[in-house]
Chains A and B, each alone.
Chain A
Amino acid sequence: MDSALIPRGVKRCPLWQFILFICVVGAVLLWGVYAMLLCWIKGLNQTNMNDYYGFAIWIWADLTVIAVGGGAFFSGLLRYIFGKDELKSIINYAVLIGFICYSSALLVLAYDIGQPLRGWFIFWHANVHSMLTEVAFCLSCYFGVLTIEFIPLILENRQIDRVPFFHHLSHNMHEIMGVFAATGVFLSFFHQGSLGGVAGVLFGRPFAYREGLFIWPWTFFLFTWSAAACGPCFTLLITKITEAVTRKKLVKDDAVELLAKISGWMILTYIIAKTIDTWWWLTVTAPSMGQTLMDFYSNNPLYGIWFLILEIVICGFVPAAILITKKGRKNSVALWIAVILAVVGVCINRWAMVLQVMAVPVMSFDYWAMYFPSWQEIATTILPVAYGIILVGLAHRYLPVFPDESELNPIETLPAEEEEAVEPSVDLEQELKPAEA
């Protein structure tokens, strides 16, 4: 029924199956929307946050989706600035994932504030000294850039592309995409960094505080670096999941391998820098504030030293070691493990820099604060995931997200069907000539 909208040369599941899929995910989305409305109408008392835990799962989700969405800017940098043409096979998907991640981040921010109707104050009454202000500005601008990067893909839909204006607009936007990619890299560097700065500047919180360069704490650079390193792994992970769900190969091996290789080296350099930062923090910074390693990792039911080891060794050095070797990248299972570990690693890092910061007591007579999110917080955190799945589903069905899909999955058609499947090529201008009376 919707075959006219589906890109040429690719096969999609029957419409009923697709609608059923959208309905199931849509139900989860509606559950999230209901919880979101509760938070907006009744306030943040719907959450399990409290005065010790002012920052909680939403801020973690925010930082995490932005980190894993970093695959968009870094892939854009490699494809358009460094000219890595192999990535043509995956760049559209990287942009789509980035768009989903950043729109989700903005949505989460919208219900994370106590007075949502005053959200615009952050722009109007901006405090230029606040890392959060920089995050808000750069995040919004970069979302604009991602939208611009996403538009040509929408315009490539079979029916939209038939309109000459959209066809040429899409073509011309592709031509200048390098400019937007460069702008995206510039903006990403700052907002990814500022998100790191959000925690790093907290000089009243020894667990989060880091020295740095001029006004930027080391976490500023580490956050940008980790997003550039682990973001592409998230792109690869979602690509692999999409391939598993659709039971098709969608991206060429050379694109996956190149991205995995670059990501591997980025993770390795990042995790070395992170180790040095952690060492300095634990031997110089924290002791100067009267605290030691075990003050941060004991006397509580959750945060043991295992948490630090899991982040740095298991989810840092291990995926880096796999991805920098050709053997590791060629082995499908090893590649799966590596990208999962890298994504988990960046998630844990963001968790530590938000939730553990809140949990650790600072005053000697204070206590560890533990927190578990309410169902409303869980539902609103799952909401962007459901939204992302729906958008991926729609984009995959109706847009040429994977340019090499038809080549990788040639359709064998019967002679009778062939005539129907392959439409005769017509001159675009001629076909769209205005009707004459």
Chain B
Amino acid sequence: MKHKKAKKYGMVIDLDKCTGCGSCMVACMAENNVPFRKDESNKLLSITWLRVYKLTNGKPFPNTDICYLPRPCMHCEGQHEGHPPCVSVCPAVATDYNSETGIVSQVYTRCFGCRYCMASCPYKARYFNWWDPVWPDGMEKYLSPNVSPRMRGVVEKCSFCFHRYQLAKEKAFMEGRRELKEDEYQTACTQACPAGAITFGDLNNPNHAVYRMVKPDPKHHGRPTNPNAFRLLERLGTNPKVYYLSSREWVRRAGDNYLENEAKIKKTVHQG
């Protein structure tokens, strides 16, 4: 049997299209049974697997420009495949890198809440359940049966709607197929975005839109070759699988840290 190349699911978010409407956040919460409280005014205690940041270019009117940046878990590959910042630090193997899909998962029943993974994540994409989830009366009937709710004291994060991958695989198996079509596995946020700013697919598959949009360079851990594409904190060596597109230079520059007067991204010298 011919060996098939492993999948590397990733996301491309076109920031020039994003309007900051927040549909992706709502869809994510509904899809994944993300708990919420009566008072969500303290955002440092809110669980938002996908959070939309508002960026500005810092210039006064009339040159002011803003950009909305949705930030899910980056599902980092790390310097060597399977070595994102959070996976190797977890003392109980409660977070795992799936080499078949490239998805970083969180095993809620294994996590004992040490929060070391949260400390390791530069994107602040991991959230702690400070409370047990309490749903408004009747809402428990609307919870997704495919995603287990999390209990107090464990960490959770975006899973790239992994349950949808499992369902799609099951369906394909029943139909006698081994491979999934591009549209068979899509995340909730991708489908909810009214502007079509989010694209999801296999970064290893040249036929998938995500591949064509960023043209990842396999020799450099998937670094985008499209000049308008970038990844957050590229030079840390986390090698995320979430890419951003923008035609605006200041937006692309906001994706990483630069020294004063530094013209362009130098080759990362990270050793980790």
Q: B39 at interface (Cβ–Cβ under 8 A)?
A: no
In the complex, chain A residues 350-408 whose Cβ is within 8 Å of any chain B Cβ: 357-358, 362-366, 369
Q: Are A43 and B152 in contact (CB under 8 A)?
A: yes
Q: A131 at interface (Cβ–Cβ under 8 A)?
A: yes
Q: A55 at interface (Cβ–Cβ under 8 A)?
A: yes
Q: In the complex, which residues of chain B have a beta carbon less than 8 angstroms from the beta carbon of A108?
A: none
Which of A51, A116, A124, A132 has most chain B Cβ within 10 Å?
Answer: A51
Which of A152-160, A199-207, A412-420 lines the interface with chain B? A199-207
Q: A125 at interface (Cβ–Cβ under 8 A)?
A: yes
Q: B191 at interface (Cβ–Cβ under 8 A)?
A: no
Q: Are B110 and A121 in contact (CB under 8 A)?
A: yes
Q: Are B272 and A209 in contact (CB under 8 A)?
A: yes
Known: A114-B153, A130-B89. A45 touches B269 (CB 8 A): no
State which of A51, A114, A132, A369 has its C-beta within 8 Å of the C-beta of B126: A51
Which of A80-88, A184-192, A266-274, A288-296 lines the interface with chain B? A288-296
Which of B8-16, B21-29, B255-263 lines the interface with chain A? B255-263
Known: A52-B124, A203-B237. A364 touches B256 (CB 8 A): yes
B interface bracket (residues with beta carbon within 8 Å of A): 35 or more
Q: Are B128 and A114 in contact (CB under 8 A)?
A: yes
Q: In the complex, which residues of chain A have a beta carbon less than 8 angstroms from the beta carbon of B126?
A: 51, 54
Q: Are B254 and A364 in contact (CB under 8 A)?
A: yes
State which of A43, A129, A131, A363 has its C-beta within 8 Å of the C-beta of B232: A363
In the complex, chain B residues 59-86 whose Cβ is within 8 Å of any chain A Cβ: 69, 79, 85
Q: In the complex, which residues of chain A have a beta carbon less than 8 angstroms from the beta carbon of B173?
A: none
Bound together, the chains give a CA A205 to CA B127 distance in angstroms of 17
Q: A304 at interface (Cβ–Cβ under 8 A)?
A: no
State which of B47, B130, B235 has its C-beta within 8 Å of the C-beta of A45: B130
Q: Are B112 and A119 in contact (CB under 8 A)?
A: yes
* A interface footprint on B118-145 (CB within 8 Å = 1, 0 otherwise): 1111111011111110000000000000
Q: Are B118 and A51 in contact (CB under 8 A)?
A: yes
Bound together, the chains give a CA A53 to CA B115 distance in angstroms of 9
Bound together, the chains give a CA A149 to CA B127 distance in angstroms of 42
Known: A125-B93, A205-B119, A292-B259. A50 touches B153 (CB 8 A): no
Known: A44-B130, A130-B89, A290-B262. A115 touches B124 (CB 8 A): no
Known: A129-B88, A204-B85. A114 touches B113 (CB 8 A): yes
State which of A132, A288, A358, A366 has its C-beta within 8 Å of the C-beta of B235: A288
Q: B6 at interface (Cβ–Cβ under 8 A)?
A: no
Q: Are B128 and A54 in contact (CB under 8 A)?
A: yes
Q: Are A44 and B85 in contact (CB under 8 A)?
A: no
Q: In the complex, which residues of chain A have a beta carbon less than 8 angstroms from the beta carbon of B116?
A: 55, 130, 132, 198
From residue A368, how far is it (CB to closest CB) to chain B in Å?
Answer: 12
From residue B124, how far is it (CB to closest CB) to chain A in Å?
Answer: 6
Q: Are A369 and B44 in contact (CB under 8 A)?
A: yes
Q: B41 at interface (Cβ–Cβ under 8 A)?
A: no
Q: In the complex, which residues of chain A have a beta carbon less than 8 angstroms from the beta carbon of B254?
A: 364-365
Q: Are A204 and B120 in contact (CB under 8 A)?
A: yes
Bound together, the chains give a CA A66 to CA B271 distance in angstroms of 29
Q: In the complex, which residues of chain A have a beta carbon less than 8 angstroms from the beta carbon of B271?
A: 211
Give the residue name and chain of the A residue nearest to B238 (CB). A204
Q: In the complex, which residues of chain B have a beta carbon less than 8 angstroms from the beta carbon of A205?
A: 119-120, 122
Q: Are A202 and B120 in contact (CB under 8 A)?
A: yes
Q: B161 at interface (Cβ–Cβ under 8 A)?
A: no
Q: A112 at interface (Cβ–Cβ under 8 A)?
A: yes
Q: In the complex, which residues of chain A have a beta carbon less than 8 angstroms from the beta carbon of B259?
A: 287, 290-292
Q: A122 at interface (Cβ–Cβ under 8 A)?
A: yes
From residue B182, how far is it (CB to closest CB) to chain A in Å?
Answer: 30
Give the residue name and chain of the A residue nearest to B118 (CB). A54
Known: A45-B130, A114-B152, A365-B55. A203 touches B255 (CB 8 A): no
Give the residue name and chain of the B residue nearest to A288 (CB). B269
Q: A127 at interface (Cβ–Cβ under 8 A)?
A: yes
Q: Are A203 and B270 in contact (CB under 8 A)?
A: yes
From residue B260, how far is it (CB to closest CB) to chain A in Å?
Answer: 8
Q: A126 at interface (Cβ–Cβ under 8 A)?
A: yes
Q: Are A115 and B88 in contact (CB under 8 A)?
A: no
State which of B154, B232, B233 has its C-beta within 8 Å of the C-beta of A114: B154
Bound together, the chains give a CA A54 to CA B126 distance in angstroms of 10
Q: Are A363 and B90 in contact (CB under 8 A)?
A: no
Bound together, the chains give a CA A51 to CA B126 distance in angstroms of 7
Q: Sort A-B residue pairs by CB-CB distance and give the 10 closest, nearest first.
A: A114-B113, A114-B153, A290-B257, A54-B118, A54-B115, A50-B44, A204-B122, A203-B272, A118-B112, A204-B85
In the complex, besides A121-B112, A122-B92, 20 extra interface pairs with C-beta distance below 8 angstroms are A44-B153, A49-B128, A51-B124, A52-B124, A54-B119, A54-B128, A55-B118, A114-B115, A114-B155, A115-B151, A118-B111, A121-B94, A124-B92, A125-B93, A130-B89, A203-B237, A204-B122, A290-B262, A362-B257, A363-B232
28 contacts between A and B (CB under 8 A): A44-B128, A44-B130, A50-B130, A51-B44, A51-B128, A52-B44, A52-B124, A112-B114, A113-B112, A113-B114, A114-B153, A119-B112, A121-B110, A127-B91, A129-B88, A132-B114, A201-B88, A203-B237, A203-B238, A204-B123, A204-B238, A205-B120, A287-B259, A289-B257, A290-B259, A291-B257, A364-B254, A366-B124
Residue numbers of A with Cβ under 8 A of B are 43-45, 49-55, 112-116, 118-119, 121-122, 124-127, 129-133, 136, 198, 201-206, 209, 211, 287-292, 295, 357-358, 362-366, 369
